[in-house]
Amino acid sequence: MREIRLSDMDDIARGAAILGAGGGGDPYVGKLLAEVAIEKHGPVSVVDIGDVPPDAVVVPVSSMGAPTVGTEKLPSGHEAITALRALERVMGRKATHLVPIEIGGVNSVIPIAAAAETGLPLVDGDAMGRAFPEAHMVLPTLIGVSCTPMVIVDDKGNTMVLETVSNQWAERFARAACTEAGCSVFTADTVLNGRQLKAGLVAGTLTLAHKLGRAVRLSPEPVATAAALLDGRLLITGKVVDVNRATTGGFARGQARIEGIGACRGMRMTLSFQNEHLVAERDGEIVTSTPDLICVLDNETGDPITTEGMRYGNRVAVLGVPCDSRWTTPEGLRLTGPRAFGYDHDYMPISVGGKQ
């Protein structure tokens, strides 16, 4: 995929929402922004990580907040570019490339809109290989790249610049500002040079999102197709019987309960989430946990169902999908494993817990 055209957007948005592990925000509004930008300015150029010059200035632009709010508090459409230009002024340098911070939901398509509007090329990759709920939970943290300077922009035009002593502090201050701004802001941060991309990004995830979204759309067995393409395992097929969800501290937190249907009749699963699904417990046993992906799909169409979109009565298939291997190192697990979210248990690899 060397260019992103208008006709690619539905498949990219669908695939990215699957890879978002329930989070990243509903891509619908972001997809509309990207489609308008591409229609006005033309296709977006996509470059491989290996083709980015060593001295490039690669900037992620994204949204931050609770997905439950993002579906109602719509952006003006100018926030991402405002954040980017403010960060350029702070750095005293112009961005040469843009990149998604995560390949999940709305944050996979916001950079497409920004790239179309600015004419900058988009790097084929992201900093997570999925979506995580907190700003410091990115591969650049593992290689010592700072999230700051970080620019935060809200829909009213307020702009804030953060300089912090650690990426964890950047998350804490940014989340507080986000909450005060109505649980929805845009950011530009975590600037990388070309030499840092191989270690700081998961390569090829925009192409993967496009391929996955297209395959699911065209397949007569979309759930099986998604599982095969992602090397995932089916954890349960069932009906959502309860969702307990609240927006607190700038996140959508809660649990969803699923009762098995068909071949899974008699099984029960509980999904725990903080924007993204973090732990899957089936019949009292943890079968998948962060940093591996827990992806919820419509059982018939294979369309992704986000944590804010899950409703009583949804017929779903839940997949466990392996994460990028760097997240399962001791350093990666300290940053994104279950204990990083307050769970009192260790990481459960899918290969151990995810088999039916």
- Residue spans of the domains in the chain: they are 3-205, 221-341
Q: 266 vs 196, 234, 237, 283, 315, CA distance in Å? A: 49, 16, 11, 9, 15
What is the pLDDT, as a whole number, of residue 105?
83
Give the chain's mean pLDDT: 93
Tokens 């097929």 found at: 237
Handedness of CA 316, 322, 324, 329 (dihedral sign): positive
What is the pLDDT, as a whole number, of residue 254?
92
| Interstrand relation of 202-203 and 233-248 (parallel, antiparallel or unpaired) | unpaired
Closest CA to 112 of 203, 42, 55: 42
| Interstrand relation of 159-162 and 122-123 (parallel, antiparallel or unpaired) | unpaired
Distance CA 302, CA 310 (A): 14
pLDDT digits (tens, 9 = 90+) for 208-239: 999 999 999 999 999 999 999 999 999 999 99
Whether 118 contacts 42, CB under 8 Å = no
Distance CA 67, CA 307 (A): 8
pLDDT digits (tens, 9 = 90+) for 278-321: 999 999 999 999 999 999 999 999 999 999 889 999 999 999 99
Tokens 């419509």 found at: 298
Tokens of 222: 């979309």
Contacts for 22 with CB less than 8 Å, ≥ 6 apart: 271, 273, 275, 276, 277, 294, 295, 296, 304, 305, 306, 307, 310
| Helix (H/G/I), strand (E/B), else coil: 207 | helix
Distance CA 138, CA 65 (A): 16
Q: 162 vs 59, 106, 179, CA distance in Å? A: 16, 23, 16
Contacts for 30 with CB less than 8 Å, ≥ 6 apart: 13, 63, 105, 106, 107, 108, 109, 110, 113
Q: What is the 3-state secondary structure (H, E, C) of 148-183?
A: CCEEEECCCCCEEEECCCCHHHHHHHHHHHHHHCCC
The pLDDT-based confidence of 70 (bands split at 50, 70, 90) is low
Residues facing residue 243 across a β-bridge: 256
218 burial level (CB within 10 Å; 0-12, 13-18, 19+): exposed
Peptide bond into 149 cis (omega under 30): yes
Residues facing residue 51 across a β-bridge: none
Superfamily of domain 3-205: CV3147-like domain (3.40.1610.10)
pLDDT digits (tens, 9 = 90+) for 95-150: 999 999 999 888 999 999 999 999 999 999 999 999 999 999 999 999 999 999 99
- How distant is the alpha carbon of residue 346 from its chain centre? 23
CATH fold group of domain 221-341 = CV3147-like (2.40.390)
